[in-house]
Every structure is written in structure tokens, then in C-alpha cells.
Chain A
Amino acid sequence: MSVIEVRDLRRVFRTTVGVIRRKTKEIVAVDGISFDIEEGGLFGLLGPNGAGKTTTVKMLTTLLIPTSGTARILDHDVVKEAAAIRPHIGFIFGGERGLYWRLSAIDNLRYFANLYMVDPGVTRQRIPYLLELVGLADRGDEKVEGYSRGMKQRLHIARALLHDPQVLFLDEPTMGLDPVGARELRGVIRDLLAERKTILLTTHYMFEADELCQRVAVINRGKIVALDTPDGLKQHVQDLSVVELEVIGITGDRVEQLRRLPFVDTVSVEPYEQKQKLSIHSNSGSTSVPQILNILEGLRVDKVTSREPTLEDAYVRLVGGEV
């Protein structure tokens, strides 16, 4: 049985622009997406900023009403039966907000435990357990205002697990965590999967999706552009190889020249320390390097490597080079 069923889900936001001649502008955040998540499954939703990931999570967590389409959680409709869904789901949104900063972590958790109608006896045992789980056991009685971003994020995770929900929505849960904290959190997610929790995870980190998710949907401009297992998605770029170069001072013109090369599929540029990291997807492997270097003539090129495609490369290809 599918724990989460999404059919043709669509959400349009209307905003007004202008002061005197006000015009209504429509933004399609989610455009007719469909997917299912089975019990105990971990489903990843990948996409660039503004792709519609958070809007999807908000509709599934009953906080936003879809413009059209349906979504069912544990066989309950997210619009008509929101009250039946809420006791069984937990959610976290990336970022520091959503906590009472003037209260301690323990007071925050005690408050939300009440709101989730957790029995006081259970709460007394569960709060120390969760604080231990997220590594805040020795800071639980401190006010949240003194917490780092990562600590607040970990407190959010403890809050989402207070009522031991069957279904979890994790919207970029490792955002703001240091590498060690992020690795520990991935360990927690694996433990939750072992407990047969059903999880929907959105993330920017491809290796995270590759490591954790059983199935991944790539979402771009509100539409699902691919839905497969991480290995299945990598098949999309099986014909490609990736050449990576570290350069200094590359201009838009040169990137355009690279894109126009006949064997090049996509080119993405990312800032990397004081340099730029160029990732060029092509179907000609390392044999393309001389032609690439020709275009980059006069620029300082520090490092050139060629490698096999990863899930990230599949993602870049699917969303058209936007990272």
C-alpha cells in the first residue's frame, strides 16, 4: 500500500504587482506532479531553488491547499482530512526559524509534545532520548537564542520525532549542518528507515540522495523531469563523461564558446575558493580536453580531471545546467 499518493498536484501563487495599475501575476510553483511512496520507503525530491520542492512538502504536510490535483497520506486526503493526518506525520523545514528562541530546548520540546498530545509520562522519557539522539543532551536547558544554526536544525529534528510519527517530511534537513553533523543526521535517517518510517527528503546534495534514497524525483520549474532509482538516473548520463577544470577569471563569452562545441552536452560553472570550477559534460571523454584548453587559452587553468558521471551529473543534465 502506498503511504503517500500524489496525483496531478498543482499549486499556483497569485501576487499583485504595481501600486496604481495593480496587475495579478500567477506563478506556477508545482505543475501537475504525481508519485507514490510505499511504506518504509525513502523518496528523494531533488531540484534547484524555486523548483517547487518546499511547496510540495507544504501541501503534503497539510499547510498549503493545492490549486488542483490530489494528495493522500495514509489514505487520508490532505485537504479534507488534514486533522486525521497531522498526528501521524512529522516535518522539518530547513533554516533556523520555527522555534521559540527565548525558551530552552527542553521547554520547546515539552510544548510541542503537548501540542502533539504525547502522554506526559512518555514525554519525560522521550525528550532526553531525542536530545541524546541529536547530540544536544548537555545543552537542553539552554535558551535556543544561544544555539548555532546547526544546533537549531538538530532541535528541529528532535521536535519532528517527538510523537514518533509514521511519516516524515524532511525539507533540506542537513542545510546549515557541519560535515560531521550532516553525517550523523544521515545515520539518524538510516535508523528511522530501519524502523520502517516512510520518509520524503528534499536535498540539494546529490551524494545524500545517492546514499539514502531508494527512489529520486528530479523536479524543475514545478514539473517532475525524471523519477527513478539513483542508479536508474545515472543511466541518463551513461553516454557522457565529465571533464572538470579549475580556472581563474573565466567570462560568460568563453563559457558560451564551450557550450557551442559540437561534442559538449552541458557546461556548469561553480565558484570554488578563489577560482571557478567548470564541469563539462561531453560524449568524447578526455579526447575533448585539447579543444577545451584552446578556448581557455590565456586563462590560468590549475587542474584538469576526467571522471565517470555521478547522480549530480544526471541532475545537472535533467535541469538543464542550473545548479
Chain B
Amino acid sequence: MASKRLRSYLRTIGQVFVLQFKQLAIDGFIIFIVLVQPLLIAIMGLWMMRERQGNYAIFIVVGSGMTGLWSSLLYITGSNINVERWLGTLEMLVGTPTPLAVTVIGKTLSNVVMSLSSMILGYVLAALIFRFPLTLAHPLLFVVSLICSVAAFATFGLVIAPFFAINRQLQGWVNALEFPMYILAGFMFPIALLPGWTTPISYALAPYWAARALHATSSGNVPLSDVFLSWGMMLLFSVIYLLLSGWLFRVMVHKARVDATLSLQ
């Protein structure tokens, strides 16, 4: 019975992943935040760094890709449940035996994978237009870091999704939540440049460890033990976020059933 349930959940995740990917790929706003916005950030960064010596280009390419990843995750995850509410499908989803979190996992994974295209585009842009030497110091470790990052971002998205569902006004704060993560997670510059009191906050954010691992494996400036530490932290946070999100989804669905907010009134 449990294995049948798990197989069904995995099938649902796979199906939602494909359907969501198809819908995102034709959404103009998503194309802007996944492709155009990181591109602008990358152009700005690369322009500023063009006279500098050292391997800054790869740092900027990876960092700008991560800004696209975070922005799309924040925007799409925030709107996912509200879109279901507007369509009138949220009640249908909650009324089925499959937990709502399972469908949101499929959607969030799709968002994260889609957003990785920001990084690829930034890479191609820097290589072709600015003629920077873009070599990954540890390609294999970079790929593993990327996989861990997908898990870290996706589970982080699962934690924030219920908050957007409980409080519809939070959707209006998406832009305000965008930049603090760029800074606190060290997407574009190291967190060592920030005041000391912000460091514990960065450490509690899985995207920070993702940025640290991706920057380290692409530029090769740090010992491998640091990369392994980042992987471990990402996996640890992914598990914590997964458990936390399971609880948050139960609370959110219960509250929506009490407040009658599963459908538009």
C-alpha cells in the first residue's frame, strides 16, 4: 500500500513537472525573470569587471544565474497556489487523496530546472560577447553541486509556498524579498563583505550553501573540504525544509478549510 502510494506520488510529481514546464515556457513574464533579468545583471557585472584581472567572469555568470533561480522560485512559488485558487482547482486538489505538497513539489522542481537556463544563458553570453575565458575548475563537482542546489532551492520553495497561500497579501512583497537573498546568500559578492551580524542568517539559508558550492567548484579558489561542507549543509537543510514544509502545508490546508479560502468567495 505504501509503495503504491509512493509510486503514485512520484507519477504525480513527474506529470506536474512536465505540465508546469510547458506552461512556464510560454509565459512572457517568466521568460523575463528567468532569462532577461539575469542577463541584465550579468551584463552589468561583467562590464564592471572587464578591466580586472582574475577569474571574476565565472563568479558573475554563476551568481547572475542564481539571481534568476531565486527570482523565479520566489515569484512562481508565490503565485502557484494563488493561480490554482483563481482557476478553482485548489479545492479539487485538496479534495483528492494526494497531499497538496506533492503537486507543489512537482511544480517547484520544474521552476528550479527551468531557472537553471539562466545560468546557461549567462555562461554563453559571457563567453561569446565579452570573450572571457569561462572554464569550470571542477566540472564534475560543479554538476554535483548543481544537483544539490536544485534540491536545496526546491525544498526552500516548499517552505515559502504555504506562507504565500496563507497570506495572499504577501504576493505584493515578492520584489522586496528578491534582493535581500541576492545579498545574504552571496550570489554576486562574498558575504564576508557584509556586517558580522548577518552571517548567521546566511548560514541558515540553503541558497547560501548552494552559492558557496557553485562558486567554489566553478572558480576552484577554495579547498574541496569546503565544497563537501556546502553539500552536507544543503542536504541537511533540504531534509529540514522538507519536514518543515510537510507540517506547514498541513497547517495551511487546515487554516484554509477553517477560513473558507480554498476558493474565491
Q: A residues touching B (Cβ–Cβ < 8 Å)?
A: 13, 58, 61-65, 83, 86-87, 89, 91, 93, 95, 97-103, 107, 110-112, 114-117, 120, 159
Contacts and interface: CB of A to CB of B under 8 A. Distances in A.
Interface in B59-109: 87-89, 91-98, 103
B199 interface: no
B260 interface: yes
Given A63-B263, A110-B15, A117-B4, 6 more contacts: A63-B262, A102-B23, A112-B96, A114-B8, A114-B11, A159-B92
A63 B91 contact: yes
B19 A115 contact: no
B91 A115 contact: no
B50 interface: no
B89 A115 contact: no
A171 to B, nearest CB: 11
B77 to A, nearest CB: 19
Contacts, number: 74
14 contacts: A62-B94, A86-B96, A86-B97, A89-B95, A97-B88, A97-B89, A98-B88, A100-B19, A107-B19, A112-B92, A114-B11, A114-B98, A115-B12, A117-B4
Interface string B167-199: 000000000000000000000000000000000
Contacts of A13: 260
Interface of B: 4-5, 8, 11-12, 15-16, 19, 23, 87-89, 91-98, 103, 254, 257-258, 260, 262-263
A87 B8 CA distance: 13
Given A61-B95, A63-B95, A117-B4, A111 B15 contact: yes
A89 B94 CA distance: 13
B91 A114 contact: no
Contacts of A91: 95
Contacts of A159: 92
Given A63-B257, A65-B258, A100-B89, A116 B97 contact: yes
B95 A111 contact: no
Contacts of A97: 87-89
3 residue pairs, one from A and one from B, having the closest CB atoms: A97-B88, A115-B96, A98-B88
Contacts of B93: 115
B87 to A, nearest CB: 6
Contact of B12 (A95, A100, A102, A114): A114
